[in-house]
Amino acid sequence: MQSWAQAIDTTVLTLQQVVELAKAKSIASKQAATLKETRYWQWRTHKSNYQPQLSLNGNLPGYSKTFREVLQPNGTIEFQPVRYNNSSLNLALTQSIARTGGTIFATTQMQRFDDFDRKTVLYNGVPYAIGYSQPIWKWNPLKWDNKIEPLKYMESRQVYIESMEQIAINATSYFFDLLVAQVNLQIAETNYTNNQNILRIAQEKFDMGKISRNEMLQLQLEQLKAQKAVGVAKRDMEIATLSLRSYTGLSTTKIRLSLPASSIRMKVDTSKVVAEALENRSDAIAFMRKLAEAKRDLAKAKADNGLNATLTARVGFSKSARDLGKVYQSPINQQQFQLEFDIPILDWGRSKSRTKTAEANKQFIEYAVEQDKQNFSQEIYTQVTLFEMMKNQLVLTARADSIASEKYQIAKERYVLGNLSITDLSIAFQENDQAKRDYVYALRDFWGSYYQLRYLSLYDFEKNTKITYR
């Protein structure tokens, strides 16, 4: 009855289920989703810079009570009390032009001035005005942002997919930590039971004088070692269970893991992995982004070193009146045309130094990106080779486990029959245990290599499709 209750209480999980749990419930997956959302809104902020902007600003109220200096007819100055309200409102619509860096704007303004000492009211308004402001030979941040920000957004989406695949790698590690602990506990408990049975048979032989006292003591020592190994294995399993539960967000206290499959139906071609990685990985996008940023910095350094000018043209209507309605009656034409400029004449080589620094930095980044590309490709080639090696090693290890298990059974039967020494039996014990552990370790290396390959390429070779997440 107790074992039945324990079985009901125990959750049986496969490797794939643990991976999916981690992707759905782990703190790491929630952090990745939050970072993805943050970067999405950053992208939306960038996009809004290219849309019309409507803003209202003003000074309402603008009350002031103070003393002002007043020049007298005789040339002296007296301070007279002044009490007034100067309020204003400005409604403006602006549209940036990314290609040129200029700005089209339209505005309407209203100003009211109240002189409380003289009890007068005056209105001044701009019913409407339109204009255009164009930087000349200036660095255009909108143009460069339009090249770089899309790369950043694409990079962030791939980073999210990589984060989810990294969670799969981490979950696999926790899965096999617990699986190894469970296998070790199973081995320890089996060895303890077998040692008890062999010790019982040996006691009968010892009573009949068929084995020595030394051999009997050796078996007793082996039993104590087996009992101690059970305790250590239980401790390790509890620690591994807690770690797996903590990472995956699983609430179940007792977990039993199923042994993963020893093969996957998939074909891995190195050139295919490299091609998918160069298309899907955030690193590949980062290569383009870094080069674009280096070109942007150089362009900015060159633009800041020469003539910087801004041409502004504005036309509209304005009028002042004592009544608000009269401001809009027959307003007067208003025009503005100006050119602001800034020309460095003597800067003691500062401009040239900034340009040379930007050029050197661009060259350095080009070399660094080239090196990163080589490392990137080499890592993929290495991982594909490791994956193929792990497949072969798993086959060999499975065969070794089968042989060691059969050898152990034969050794145990021979010892019972009395034609095998305790030393040879102990060796068979150790070889069988190690073969079982080696098989689990080989499974761990194989599946770890599989998920690492997915991470490096962001490609599902079982389904022959790119890995995506909503």
Summarised one tens digit per residue, pLDDT across range 394-435 is 888 888 888 888 887 887 777 667 676 666 776 777 788 788
Q: The tokens of 467 are what?
A: 């890995």
Same domain, 372 and 437: yes
Supply the CATH number for residue 32's domain. 1.20.1600.10
Same domain, 68 and 44: no
Domain count, the chain: 2
Of 298 and 411, the one with more pLDDT: 298
Same domain, 152 and 241: yes
Of 78 and 178, the one with more pLDDT: 178
**Predicted confidence (pLDDT) at residue 178 exceeds the cutoff of 80:** yes
Query: Model confidence over 434-448: pLDDT tens digits?
Result: 888 888 899 999 999
For residue 166, is it within any domain?
yes
**Predicted confidence (pLDDT) at residue 76 exceeds the cutoff of 50:** yes
pLDDT at 422: 64
pLDDT at 296: 92
Same domain, 232 and 332: no
Same domain, 188 and 223: yes
Identify the domain containing residue 115 by its residue range.
53-97+102-139+307-343
**Predicted confidence (pLDDT) at residue 14 exceeds the cutoff of 50:** yes
Return the minimum-mean-pLDDT range out of 29-33, 91-95, 322-326. Answer: 322-326
Same domain, 93 and 241: no
Same domain, 64 and 129: yes
Q: What percentage of residues in the chain have a pLDDT greater than 70?
A: 96
Return the minimum-mean-pLDDT range out of 217-221, 355-359, 365-369. Answer: 217-221
Same domain, 429 and 312: no
Of 386 and 211, the one with more pLDDT: 386
Same domain, 80 and 205: no
How confident is residue 5, by pLDDT bands cut at 50, 70 and 90? very low
Most confident of 8-12, 167-171, 255-259: 167-171
**Predicted confidence (pLDDT) at residue 2 exceeds the cutoff of 60:** no
For residue 313, is it within any domain?
yes
Task: State mean pLDDT over 311-330.
Answer: 86
CB 145 within 8 A of CB 46: yes
For residue 169, is it within any domain?
yes
Task: State mean pLDDT over 239-245.
Answer: 92
**Predicted confidence (pLDDT) at residue 41 exceeds the cutoff of 90:** yes
Same domain, 254 and 396: yes
For residue 349, is it within any domain?
no
For residue 348, is it within any domain?
no
For residue 302, is it within any domain?
no
Across the chain, what does the average pLDDT equal? 86
pLDDT at 81: 85
CA 20 to chain centre: 18
Task: State mean pLDDT over 204-216.
Answer: 76
Same domain, 316 and 452: no
Same domain, 459 and 366: yes
Return the minimum-mean-pLDDT range out of 43-57, 74-88, 196-210. Answer: 196-210
**Predicted confidence (pLDDT) at residue 22 exceeds the cutoff of 50:** yes
**Predicted confidence (pLDDT) at residue 4 exceeds the cutoff of 70:** no
Task: State mean pLDDT over 92-109.
Answer: 92
How confident is residue 161, by pLDDT bands cut at 50, 70 and 90? very high
Cβ contacts of residue 470 below 8 Å, gap of 6+? none
**Predicted confidence (pLDDT) at residue 104 exceeds the cutoff of 80:** yes
Task: State mean pLDDT over 340-354.
Answer: 81
